[in-house]
Amino acid sequence: MRLASILPPVRVLTWCTAALPLAAHAEDVGKIYQNNCASCHGDDLGGGSAPSMLDDAWTLGGTDEEIARTIRLGSLDNGMPAWEGALSEAEVRALVVFIRERRNAAAQADATHTASGGPARTVAGHTYRVEDVVSGVETPWSMAFLPDGRMLITEKPGRLRVLENGRLSAPVSGTPAVLDASQGGLMEVALHPAFKDNGWIYLAYSGRAPKGGERDGMTTLVRGRLRDGRWVDEEKIYVAPEGTFRTAGHHWGCRIAFDGQGYLFFTIGDRGAQDQAQQLDRPNGKVHRIHDDGRVPADNPFVGTAGALPTIWSFGHRNPQGLDFNPADGSLWSTEHGPRGGDELNLVQRGKNYGWPVITYGINYNGTPITERTSAPGMEQPVLHWTPSIAVCGIDFYEGAAFPQWEGALLVTALAGQDLRLLRFEGGKVVAQHSLLRGAGRVRDVGCGPDGAIYAALNGPDKIVRLVPVP
Ligand code: HEC
């Protein structure tokens, strides 16, 4: 089947539309807290006639589940009212997110920062220093290392640059025009696994609809080669079906990962239409799988499903902006921006539904609840979720020689959380999470350089830094 085959815009295969309708009077969680809780627990949650919720002394249990249960059932003998009936389950979930956010803000207020040129730090068995690699890049989004030691960097407004011996090239000419609006622009750059032989470089970006309005956009993929500072031999690799482009400026996904067997996986966010993440006739809210030249693999999970887009590999994603294969076992992992709360780390598997927006650990940005449901039959649970959100973006399994203790750990970037995290696994579960770049800026992408150093792309301040080992 060819990509150009256009499917009728029928609404098929909509999973679980039974998401609970929210009351029309859905209220901001800050107000819910002020009106119901602040009189006893204090305006800032720091305690009053009732205990503080900012410290680690939980007498009634400090997991999400336990906090929700305390709110629901109270502790009547000790003066904590029961809110079951007075507050909906979704509001109780929103309060749990709110309590987590406030605890996090209080903890950050006295956290130490990690800056370039600062003193060396020791974390998880290694001492490292942070160095500036290059500044003067505008909103760097993605990095790729060429075998000759040069580095490719995308800048979101639409430029591809080459970094050579610490010097940044002029923008490569001839790269595709992008919709540089809101979160969109030129995003991912990735090399073909056989780049040395074939020279293919892949770009993912916010592309305009071939036919349609000025602002109609969808995640688009091309490949091309670099010759004398020019982008040449361009081929279209993925263009979404006509009629599925959207004017929203956000949630493009836009990460690419190759499995080394000729398949290319890439992500598209929900493009601001959350319910479409559950619809198999829509490309948004999905992880897709294609051949490296754009053809659709005959064994994709929904190839035989009437009305479904054949490129879909998994669905029910909100905005996956991290994607990488674990070199140890070939499994595919993604990080996904949640709404307010509920950022996810997912093990991406063939044909599976990751639940957005039917289930989520997050709430709406305006503080109103989305749903009380954090799990449902037939929907995958994240391996890990971050509540409050740290705004997870690019990821990379560490494979370099410079930090042997970190071999196989997952590096996870955080924009709002201004951090680079190191996640260690045991038996498929995350057993430790270390902070490597706290407070250095919004971290957008991470990669391991040929020298084994860990490179991170920062947005605000816009620059590339690297973590180098200190003996
Ligand atoms: C009338 C006063 C009062 C109000 C109002 C109140 N609480 Fe409490 N709350 C308490 C008291 C007292 C305790 C301690 C109970 C105990 O130790 O058994 C408590 C305990 C808790 C705990 C457990 C703390 C721990 O250490 O395990 C949580 C969570 C909590 N409240 C959340 C809330 C939320 C959320 C609201 C608003 C929806 C709220 N409370 C409203 C008095 C209040």
- What integer pLDDT is reported at residue 6 of this predicted model? 39
Residue 360: name the closest of 423, 315, 417, 316 by CA. Answer: 316
Distance from the alpha carbon of residue 383 to the mean position of ligand 1, in angstroms? 30
Q: Considering only 100-109, 125-134, 298-307, which range has the smallest mean pLDDT? A: 100-109
What does the pLDDT average to over 316-338? 97
Delineate the domains of the chain, giving CATH numbers in brackets: 29-109 (1.10.760.10), 121-469 (2.120.10.30)
39, 80, 83, 99, best to mutate for ligand 1 pocket (most atoms within 8 Å of CB): 80
Closest residue CA from atom 39 of ligand 1: 37
pLDDT per residue over 49-58, tens digit each?
Answer: 888 899 888 9
- What integer pLDDT is reported at residue 25 of this predicted model? 55
pTM of the model: 0.82
pLDDT at 462 over 70: yes
Task: State how far Cα 46 lies from the chain centre.
Answer: 32
**Residue 10 buriedness (CB in 10 A; 0-12 / 13-18 / 19+):** exposed
Distance from the alpha carbon of residue 375 to the mean position of ligand 1, in angstroms? 26
CB 51 near ligand 1, within 6 Å: yes
What does the pLDDT average to over 335-362? 96
- What integer pLDDT is reported at residue 78 of this predicted model? 87
What does the pLDDT average to over 147-172? 96
- Give whichever of 82-86, 114-118, 344-348 has the largest mean pLDDT: 344-348
What does the pLDDT average to over 215-229? 97
